[in-house]
Each structure stands twice: as C-alpha cells, then as structure tokens.
Structure 1
Amino acid sequence: MENDKITAENYTTLEASKIYKKTKMRWVIAGLMWAAIAINFLDRTTLAIATPHIMQDLHVTTQEMGMLMSAFFLCYALLQIPAGFVSEKIGQRKALGLSVLWWSIATGLTGIATGFKSLMGLRMVLGIGEAGAYPSNAAITRKWFPKSERATVGGIFDSGQKFGGAFGVPVLTWLMISIGWRETFAVLGIIGIVWSIAWWFFFKDDPADHKGVNKLELDYIHDGEEVKEKDKTMPLKWWQLLRYRNVIAMCIGFFMINYNSYFFITWLPMYLMKDRGLSFSQMGFAASLPLLCGAIIEILAGYLSDRVHSSGKMSLTKTRKLFLCIGLIMAAFIGFAAVSESLIVALILLCISKSGTVVAASQVWAIPSEIAPRNMTGIVAGIQNCISNFGGVVGPIITGFIVGYTGHFEFALLFSAFLLLIAILNFIFVLGKIEPIRVEKQ
C-alpha cells in the first residue's frame, strides 16, 4: 500500500509538472533590455560614423569633433545619479520608457543640425536622455533575476552595445551612402520611438504583476530572498554610498575601462581611415569586427562567471576579480595594436582588446545588484556609471588633441593601455569582498 501511495504521488507530481512548468518571461524582459541598449549604442555612435561627412558639410574641425563627442558623455555622466534615483522612485517601466523616447527624439532631430552649436546642443540633449538606460537595467536585473543569473543578464544587456555596433555600423555606413547622414538619424529616431511604445505596454516593474510570470518562475526569481517591494524607503542618502570602499573601487576601475571602451565608438572609424588607410566603405566593415567579437564574448563571460560561482569552486569575490583581471589584461592589447605595422594584426589585437573590456563589463554590471542596499541598486549603478563615463568625457578630447598634435593615434592608444594597467591594480587591491553593504542604524 505504501509503495502504491508513493507511486500515485509521483504520478500526480509528474502530471502537474507537465501542466504547470516554470515560465521564462524574464528572458523576454532581458531581450527588451538588450534591445534598449542596442538602440542606445546606435544612437550615440552614429555621430562617429558620420564624422567625415559632418566635418566636410558643416565645416567642423578635429578638435571640435572631439568636443562634440565629449558633450554627450558629459551630460550622460552627470545625469547618471539622478537617473538612478528617478528609476527607483517611479519604477523602470516609466523611467526606461521615457528615457528611450527622449533620446530617440533627440536622435531624429540631429539630422536637421546646421553647424557646431546646434550639434553640440542636440548631443547634450541626447546624453540627458540616454542616462536612464543602465541604472534602470541594473535595477531590473535585481528585481527580475535570481543571483545565479545576474552576471549572465548583465552580459546580455550590455552586449547590446556591441551587437548594435557589429551589425549597426555596416548598416549605418550603407544607409549614409544610400540616403545620406541626415536621413539616417531620422530612421534611428523612429526605431527608438517604436521600442518605447512596446515597452510601455509590455513591461511591469514587479514580476508578480506580469501575466506571463507564473508562481514557479516568481519563486525562482526571488531565490529565497525576502521580498519588500512595497517598501520604497532608502536606508542611505546617495552621497553616503561614496563612503564605502567597494563603491569607490567600482567607480575608479570602470572609469579606466570606459576610457578604453569608448575609443571604439568615437575615434575608431577615423583611426581606421587616417592611420590605416581604409576607405569609408571598408571602414564600416573593419570597425564592426571588434564590436562583434565583444558582443559574443560578453554573453559567454557573464554566463561562465555565473557557472564558476554556482559550482562552489570559487567565492563570488574571487570570481568577479578573476574575470575582471583577465578582461583588463586582454583590453591592454590596444597598446600592441598601436605599434603594429600590419593592418590584419592590428585588427586582431583590437578585437582582443574590445573583447577584454566586455569581459570586465559583464562583471561590472553584476556588482551593483550584489552590493547595493535595499532599493538602491539603480543609484549604485548610477554612481558607478556617472564617474566611469567621465572616461567617455575626457577620452575623446584627450585623443583628439593627441592626434591633432602628433598627427597619428599611436600615443593615444598607448596611453589607454597604461590606464588599463592601473585598473587591474585597483580591482586587485582596492575592491574588497563582494557582499551587500551593511547600513548601520542611526
């Protein structure tokens, strides 16, 4: 009788599992997050692709072009913390949806620019709008995914930048040849507006409110954590987070990473034409190769680091530091690309370098959800992205002036490699144990 009872129970469980399986709506959300970052990248990098045309049509100098590229990053960086705060207060459905809508309108209007001043204004407006993307995605990662999948998700959505570049750069190059650089900006603006409408009707801030999420998936997402979604209070003021060693280390390290990474979306097209002698159409293909490699490697790096940690062989801290250091060593290969005489070798080294920055980035975007106090994931990500994006502010300017003074990119790339070595030391010796910040009650 006992055996019969067990058999019946097993049969009931088996039948139930067929009917009531864990849904996978979180991966659809991850796909939308990825698409937002892909659009984000395309809209910010179109200026770099259009640089030769803009400089010729609007009579913009090399130094002014560097300032235009930096104008975006200045506003983008300064608005990161406010964007993280807004994301936590009004929710990511509104924050990310409005952010994409804002920057898409700015992108479309760029096509009517008449000179340096109007371009400068539109780039600043674009930077304000795009500031909401990463803080919102970091907060969504914490709400919609268990700890065991967060580096994977960080790698997925951040890889949108590289996929957008890998496939977008050749397409943008073709569009500019076919319909013109002004019309290309208009097309991109329309794509972003369509995404924001889809996001508004599909996404929910709380996975429990989404009709496509069943109880099994919801329990898996929460992963045994106590859920306090209705409590919107924050245990700290945002500036108090800067007292913590890990927050400081994250900001310093990511600054160095971004200084290198943003070369690939600002000056790389000009480098390939000026120093390597490629034509405009050849540049479109060559510039996409490092980004394509980065897109694939980042997803693999995030997934692999999650598997390494989940296996129990390495602590979370050791896992994050290992992948950060491996990535940064690879990224420093940009210095070898600078002195290589062969175009093919230089492209291979640039692919390795870009792949290294994304290996590090897959870890960087997982850490905010792993150390942030309650209801402050978006703000921690905002602080990190604010400081780090000053690498995008000063990088294009410094590179522009070095190239303007020396006539080539060699010293600019060697300086970037030097900063990456500093980043390695920072993550080894300054970054501490990866664990939630413990807030002492006042």
Structure 2
Amino acid sequence: MESDSLTSGGERAPGRATPGSKVGRYRYLVLAAVTLGIAVNYLDRATISVALPDMEADLGMSDALAGVLLSSFFWTYSAAQLPAGFLAGRLGPRKLIALSALVFGAVTMLMGLAWGVGSLVVLRLLLGIGEAPAFPAAAQVVSEWFPKGERSFASGTFNNGNPIGSTLCIPLVALLVASFGWRASFLVTGGLAVAYAVGWWFFYRSPRESRRVGDAELAHIRSGQEERADAEQPVAVSWKSLFRHRAVWSMMIGFFCINFVAYFFITWFPTYLVNTYDLTLLNFGFLGMVPGIASMLGGWTGGLVSDWLVRRGTDLTTARKGCLVGGLLGTSVIALAVVSPGVGTALVALSVSYFSSTFAAASVWCLPADVAPTAAHVGSLGGIQNAAANCAGIVSPILIGVITGITSSFAVPLLIAGGVAVLGALNYAFFMPRLRPLTTEETA
C-alpha cells in the first residue's frame, strides 16, 4: 500500500490503498477511548445518586430538596449544550474532551468537600458546564472516524458509556460509601476523570493527523464520507437557521422523551429500589446492575441493527425510524413496574425499558451526522438535540421528587415516564421528515 505524506499543516495528504488491502481497525480503538470518556463522565454525574441516601441522612435533605439537587446539574448542562456543540466544531475533539474531563473531574472531587446543600448545588451547576461538551464532541469523533454504514454501531457504543458508567458506579460507589463515607466516593471518581483527561490529550489525533491509521483504513473512512457528500450535495446552512428545520425539532423532541425515562435510572433509580423494596445499599449494589447491563446490550444491539439495515440497502430514514420508534415503544414498559409484585418482576420491566432506551439512542446519535449540511455542523446539531434532551434532566428529577414526596410512591412518576416514551415514538413516526443533509429549502 502507498504511504500518506504529511502536509505543511501536519495533516496526512490523501493516499490510496492498493486493491485487496486489508482495512485496519484502529478506528475502534479510538471509539473505545471515546466510550471510556463517556463512562467516566456518567460515573462522576451518577455518584451522587448512589450516595444520596447517606447524604440525605447526613445533611438533613427532604425528597423534594434532593430532587432540586439532582436537577440542578441539568440546568447548566442543558444550557451549555449549544455553545459546547459550537466549540466541538471549532476547537476539535482533542482539546474539548480533555478540557471537559479536567473540569468535571476537579469539580467532582470538590463535591467531596462540600459543607451543605447550597455548596452542593453550586458545584452541581459547575459540573453541568464541565460535562456538557462530552456528547457533541463524541459525535464529532464518530463523524470523522466512521463511514455512514458504521456510524450507528459507533454511536450506540459511545452512548453505552452512559450505562457502563452508571452501572459501574453502583457497586463502586456503594462500596466506597459503605467503607469510607460518601465524601470519599466523590474524591475517587473525580480523580479518575482527571487521569482520563491527561490520557486523552496524549492519545487522540484526527484521522488526517494520526500516523497509526493505515492507508486502507483511511480510504475506507473517507469513502463513506465522500459518498454522502456526492450523493446528497449538501448546502451550507448558518448555525442559527438550523432551528428552522423540522428535522431538528423532531430530533429535539424525540431525544427529550428518551432522556426523560433514561434519567430516572441515573437519578432516582437507586432510591426507588432501596425504598420500595427495603434493600440495603450493598444489596442494591448487585441488583441495581441488572438494568444497566441490559442497557449496554441495548445500545450495541440498536447500533448493529441500524447499521445492518443501512448496509443491506434499506432507506436511511426507514432504518433510523424503525429503531427509534420500536425502541421507544419498548421503553414505555417502565410503566409495568408499577404493578410488579416483587423486586424480581420490577427489575425485568425496568431492564426491558432501559434496554429499549439505549437501543433507540444508538440511532439518535447518528442523526446529527445524517442531516448535517457540513462536517462542521455535526457538533452543533449534536449540541442542539442534547440541549433539548437534557431539559428532561431538569424536569424529571424535580417532578419525581415532588410527586413521590406527596404520594409516598413512585407509581405515578413511572406511569408518566411510560406515557412520555409513547409520545416520543409518535414524534419519530409521524413528525420526523426524510433524513438528508439540511438545506435552506426545508423549514419547520
């Protein structure tokens, strides 16, 4: 095979692989590194959920106040998605992900030193800002490193960092809290994020800058991306005008519905299982992993199914919509936990719901690359849909906390979550238009 040469700017000039060259798999190592970053991101944000019962007792918090504390993270996290998406296309994933992990790691460590609810709220607000760039930057990495026919699996994999981090958080933080107290758990998980920031900075390079990716693999990556550009002929669209497009609004509404359910698992799920079924924190540490493991399988399954449909010639819109609608209908099964007679059947319903949620989310994170008018817009579109999605993180924890405080039960919140999932399925089925690069012609 031919070797690429370096341009004066430090990028590799386009090279060609000889016929029959074996395509390398370095892009999957990059994907693993991105997924690890998302896992650390969720580990840090979910630490408070597992430590919350001890924190409530220590600091004298009511359920309603705990809901506000859990929600406060999303106030800034959601608002920071738009600038984070913009920065993803300007700074690039290497700088942005390293800076993000450094900031949210340091803030998480400071939470272990918090002296009251007020200081915890302020730190949760800062944590939201620090974690905001993770998903827009990860979507940018996938758009750079993967052709269209592999993006759903790649997106489902990095999105699996969510359940991986949340699931590992349960036994790790439960053990830390039981052994050393809730403050130590924040110091440990925050330290892991700082270590990741350093590792990412030295590891990551774009495909054009990396000397570790072979010519055949680089040609494979570019062929899928060039095919999209040639076939669709996208027209440049200004950042503000993205909000005029119906596809963008459908992306925002649908992801809000997915996250409304998903954030139950990240915020109130530990308290729900411990209080409803009278479990100890250590017992929960084992049982609570079951839905998380199911969600990991859901993310990979959703990615494989969507990519398989695209590769076999299924229309892109049909492939994405089928997985999104089916996944959200499965997510609505969370409502069945209300009528579960015991912890075992409740875990089954919750596991099916979480599996289906990440099954749908695998296609959600393909949408920015599917409809972006230019490569620079992928991060912006990822930030826009993630901003709307994480408004669910503002609404869901407070709503669940208030209703649970009034009714002393999680029944009504779980029924609401099931209804929101059905609404999301209807949005993708009937409101989302055909998927293609956005132009100035189609508006909402």
Judge same fold: TM > 0.5, yes or no.
Answer: yes
CA separation of 1:304 and 1:386: change in aligned 2, threshold 3 A = same
Q: Distance in 2 between matches of 1:345 and 1:372?
A: 42
What SS class does the counterpart of residue 327 from structure 1 fall into? helix
Post-superposition Cα deviations, 1:285-328, rounded to whole Å, max 9, x if no partner, equal 2221111110122112201210122111x211111111111111
Q: In 2, Cα distance between the equivalents of 1:260 and 1:243?
A: 27
215-224 or 375-384: bigger deviation: 215-224
Structure 1 contact 263–395 (Cα < 8 Å) conserved = yes
Quick check: 1:23–1:212 contact (8 Å CA) kept in 2?
Answer: no
Q: Distance in 2 between matches of 1:249 and 1:23?
A: 36
- Structure 1 distance, partners of 2:78, 2:302, is 26
* Match in the other structure for 1:32: 33
Aligned to 2:202: 201
User: 1:394 matched to which residue of 2?
Assistant: 395
**TM superposition shift of 1:224:** 5.1
Q: CA deviation at 1:439?
A: 3.7
Tell me, which stretches of 5 or more residues in structure 2 are unaligned? 1-16, 228-234
Structure 1, unaligned runs of 5 or more: 1-15, 228-233
Deviation at 1:127, TM superposition (A): 0.4
CA distance in 1, matches of 2:274, 2:21: 57
- Superposed, 1:421-436 pairs within 5 Å as 421-436=422-437
Cα deviation for residue 226 of structure 1 reads: 4.2
- The equivalent residue for 1:275 is 276
Whole-angstrom distance in 1 between the partners of 2:406 and 2:158: 38
Q: Distance in 2 between matches of 1:167 and 1:147?
A: 31
Does residue 388 of structure 2 align to residue 409 of structure 1? no
The equivalences for 1:115-134 within 5 A come to: 115-134=116-135
The superposition leaves residues 235-265 of structure 1 with CA deviations (integer Å, 9 ceiling, x where unpaired) of 3332211111110001001111111110001
Q: Work out whether residues 111 and 183 of structure 1, in 8 Å CA contact, stay in contact via their aligned partners in 2.
A: yes
How far off is 1:17 after superposition? 7.8
Asked if 2 retains the 8 angstrom alpha-carbon contact of 1:402 and 1:411, the reply is yes
- 1:114 aligns with 115
Between structure 1 and structure 2, the one with the greater Rg is 1
1:329 shift after superposition: 1.3
Look up the SS of the partner of 1:212 in the other structure: coil
Q: Does the aligned pair in 1 maintain the 2:43–2:168 contact within 8 Å?
A: no
Q: Bigger CA drift: 44-53 or 335-344?
A: 335-344
1:176 to partner: Cα distance? 1.2
2:3 maps to what in 1?
A: none
User: Equivalent residue for 1:250?
Assistant: 251
Q: Secondary structure at the match of 1:236?
A: coil
For 2:435 and 2:287, locate their aligned partners in 1 and report how far apart those are by CA, in whole Å: 38
Encode CA deviations 1:264-294: one digit per residue, 9 max, x unaligned.
0100111111112212111122221111110
Question: Partners in 2 of 1:268 and 1:226 — Cα distance?
Answer: 44
Q: Conserved in 2, the CA contact under 8 Å of 1:162 and 1:294?
A: yes
Aligned twin of 1:231: none
Q: Report Cα offsets for 1:86-112 as digits up to 9, x if no partner.
A: 111111110111011110001111000
- Work out whether residues 258 and 388 of structure 1, in 8 Å CA contact, stay in contact via their aligned partners in 2: yes
Q: CA RMSD in A?
A: 2.0
Deviation at 1:379, TM superposition (A): 0.3
Letter in 2 for 1:300: T
Q: Distance in 1 between matches of 2:258 and 2:363?
A: 12
Letter in 2 for 1:100: A
The 3 A distance-change label for structure 1 pair 292 and 224 is closer
Larger CA deviation: 163-172 vs 69-78: 163-172
What residue in structure 2 maps to residue 369 of structure 1? Answer: 369
Give me the whole-angstrom Cα distance separating, in 1, the residues matched to 2:113 and 2:137.
30
SS where residue 336 of structure 2 aligns? helix
Quote the residue 2:230 is aligned against.
Answer: none
Taking a change above 3 Å as real, the CA distance of residues 215 and 57 of structure 1, as seen in their structure-2 partners, is: same
Question: What TM-score results when the alignment is normalised by the length of structure 2?
Answer: 0.91
Partner of 1:3: none
Q: Residue in 2 aligned with 1:341?
A: 341
Q: Matches of 2:18 and 2:371 in 1, distance apart?
A: 35
Secondary structure of the 2:160 match is helix
Q: Which residue of 1 is the match for residue 359 of structure 2?
A: 359
The one-letter code of the counterpart of 2:428 is F
Contact 1:147 1:223 in 2 (8 A): no
- The letter of the residue matching 1:124 is L
TM-score using structure 1 length: 0.92
Tell me the distance in 2 between the aligned counterparts of 1:251 and 1:194: 33
Look up the match of 1:213: 213
Q: Which moved more, 1:321-330 or 1:104-113?
A: 321-330
Match of 2:420 in 1: 419
Q: How many residues are matched?
A: 420
- Residue matched to 1:149: 150
Partner of 2:84: 83
User: Measured at CA, do residues 180 and 431 of structure 1 come closer, stay the same or move farther in structure 2, by a change above 3 Å?
Assistant: same
- What percent of counterpart residues are identical? 36
SS of match in other structure, 1:262 = helix
Deviation at 1:343, TM superposition (A): 1.7
- Note the C-alpha offset of 1:213: 1.0
4+ residue stretches of structure 1 with deviation over 6 A? Answer: 16-20
Paired residue type of 2:405: G
- Counterpart CA distance in 2 for 1:135 and 1:376 is 10
Q: Which amino acid aligns with 2:335?
A: G
Q: Is the 8 A contact 2:148 2:224 kept in 1?
A: no
Distance 2:133 2:239 in 1: 16
Q: Contact 1:259–1:391 (CA<8 Å) still a contact in 2?
A: yes
| Distance (whole Å) between structure 2 residues aligned to residue 154 and residue 294 of structure 1 | 14
Displacement after TM superposition at 1:192 (Å): 0.9
Structural mapping, 1:257-296, within 5 Å = 257-296=258-297
1-side partners of 2:311 and 2:69: how far apart? 44
| CA shift in 2, pair 1:386/1:224, >3 Å | closer
Q: How far apart in 1 are the matches of 2:332 and 2:300?
A: 20
Q: Give yes or no for the alignment of 1:308 onto 2:309.
A: yes
Deviations 1:379-414 (A, max 9, x none): 000000001100111000000000011011001100
Deviation at 1:18, TM superposition (A): 12
Residue 224 and residue 98 in structure 1: after superposition, are their counterparts in 2 closer, same or farther (change >3 A)?
Answer: same
Q: Residue 85 of structure 1 contacts residue 378 of structure 1 at CA under 8 Å; is this kept in 2? A: yes
1:117-169 superposed Cα distances (whole Å, 9 cap, x missing partner): 00001101100000000000111111111111100000100101112222331
Q: Distance in 1 between matches of 2:167 and 2:290?
A: 6
What is the correspondence of 1:50-65 to structure 2 with a 5 Å cutoff?
Answer: 50-65=51-66
**1-structure distance, mates of 2:22, 2:197:** 30
In structure 1, give the amino acid aligned to 2:327.
G
